[in-house]
Amino acid sequence: MQEIKDRAASLAGLALERDAIWLYDRLAALEKDPARRDAFTKIATSERRHAAIWEAKLASLGEAVPAHPRPSWRVRQIAILARIFGTRAVSDMVKALEGFEESVYGEHADVPEVEEIAKDEAKHAEIWRDLDGGAQAKSARAAMSAREPWHRAGGSGTLRASIFGVSDGLVSNAALVMGIAGATTSTQGGFVVLAGAAGLLAGAFSMAAGEYVSMRSQTELLERQIELERAELEAMPDEEEAEIAALYRHRGFPEAEAHAIAKRLMADPKVALETLVREELGLDPEELGSPWGAAIGSFFSFGVGAIVPLVPFILLSGSSALVASIVATSLALFAVGAAVSLLTGRSALYSGARQLGIGVAAAGVTYLVGNLIGVNV
């Protein structure tokens, strides 16, 4: 039984490492910044060493080492996006891939080779931390984030708003367009275009305004909390030092050691404030989000999604426009779902099918309702 598990772990590990080698080689070839290019090359070299470990393990088990297959769909899409938008644009996706490796290796933690590879993966995290902007504060939460940056991948407000915007634009405008198409005759395609264009603009501005107000209110609240903490630190340093010591006591540190840590942190007011903000308020001062970034991302991403079901009615007429719109929207819905899987690590087929099902259900219901209303009127 153990031999079967070792074989499965070795085959899974080898496939992961070969994907990583291929991807980091592509990133290094595309990267213009020498420091980032060297980082990608260093990680690719490490992944080659890991692949050799799994190949040796398979040989020791009497298993033939499989030939190099085509890279997985996921890493090929990341490479394509990196070629179009640059390597920085796909950083979250690459870190999510590292996190996926970690989860797979976690299933085989009792295999001896996994422990050796895990040490190298920790070094990869250090490299990514440096690429993301250097050392962070030494709080427990910050230290964990620095060691494992893929746990934070995809968490920014701008990225979240952009993904949600494309999805919302597709689903809502497809539903609107199908509802109007169901309520009108084949000779009234102009109504569909007018309604679709109005839905696109209204939805895009609404999304942008909503995201801006939401993010702005959130950041103002968080900034206010940070300012209050700063004022308390300046006005009552002894009490704040006692709070820091209490935080570490509750984490299991002996009282004397907790007080010593608090005193060292209080020696630098900036570090003390960051510690209190992170540990007491549970906030990350570096990641409050950008209201304008979220708003602009929402506006354009909603527009990109909303234009898809509308274009066929602009270019075609009658039933041809309806069929083309259904096909284009379905493909786009599946593509958006599959693209989200690059960040979540889920199956692209599952994510794409789920998004397609949601969109089809929404558009189908509104088409039937529109058809019923149109016939009755």
**Helix residue spans in 61-139 (DSSP H):** 73-85, 91-106, 112-131
Calculate mean pLDDT across residues 107-121: 63
Least confident range from 25-39, 149-163, 299-313: namely: 149-163
pLDDT at position 181 is 85
Residue 147 sits in a domain whose CATH number is: 1.20.1260
144 and 257 assigned to the same domain: no
Helix pair angle (318-344, 73-85), 10° resolution: 100
pLDDT at position 283 is 64
pLDDT at position 197 is 93
Q: Does the pLDDT of residue 5 top 80, yes or no?
A: no
Of 4-8, 26-30, 280-284, the range with the highest mean pLDDT is 26-30
pLDDT at position 329 is 93
Can you read off the two tokens belonging to residue 9? 């772990």
Q: Does the pLDDT of residue 141 top 50, yes or no?
A: no
Q: Is residue 74 part of a domain?
A: yes
193 and 314 in contact (C-beta within 8 Å)? yes
131 and 35 assigned to the same domain: yes
pLDDT at position 217 is 84
Q: Does the pLDDT of residue 180 top 70, yes or no?
A: yes
CA angle 44, 81, 119 (to 5 degrees): 25
Burial class (CB in 10 A: 0-12, 13-18, 19+), 253: middle
d(CA 146, CA 130): 9
Least confident range from 249-263, 287-301, 313-327: namely: 287-301
207 and 71 assigned to the same domain: no
d(CA 184, CA 191): 8
pLDDT at position 38 is 92
141 and 285 in contact (C-beta within 8 Å)? no
166 and 81 assigned to the same domain: no
pLDDT at position 236 is 82
200 and 249 assigned to the same domain: no
172 and 246 assigned to the same domain: no
- The pLDDT tens digits for 29-65 are 999 989 899 999 999 998 898 888 888 888 888 888 8
45 and 128 assigned to the same domain: yes
298 and 370 assigned to the same domain: yes
- pLDDT confidence band for 284 (50 / 70 / 90): low
Overall pTM surpassing 0.75 (yes/no)? no
Calculate mean pLDDT across residues 272-280: 77
Domain containing residue 247: 219-279
- pLDDT confidence band for 134 (50 / 70 / 90): very low
pLDDT at position 27 is 94
272 and 304 assigned to the same domain: no
Q: Is residue 308 part of a domain?
A: yes
Burial class (CB in 10 A: 0-12, 13-18, 19+), 90: buried
d(CA 223, CA 216): 10
Among 7, 5, 113, CA closest to 64: 7
147 and 265 assigned to the same domain: no
Calculate mean pLDDT across residues 301-329: 91
Q: How many CA atoms within 13 Å lie on the side-chain side of 182? A: 19
- pLDDT confidence band for 169 (50 / 70 / 90): very high
pLDDT at position 330 is 94
Boundary (domain end) residue, out of 279, 304, 325? 279
Higher pLDDT pick, 4 / 297: 297
- pLDDT confidence band for 304 (50 / 70 / 90): very high
Report the Cα 149 to chain-centroid distance in Å. 12
- The pLDDT tens digits for 60-108 are 888 888 888 889 888 998 899 899 888 888 887 887 777 666 655 555 5
d(CA 305, CA 200): 9
Q: Say how many domains are in the chain.
A: 3
- pLDDT confidence band for 22 (50 / 70 / 90): very high
Least confident range from 10-19, 86-95, 178-187, 322-331: namely: 178-187
Q: What is the residue-averaged pLDDT of the chain?
A: 80
- pLDDT confidence band for 229 (50 / 70 / 90): confident
Boundary (domain end) residue, out of 227, 246, 279? 279
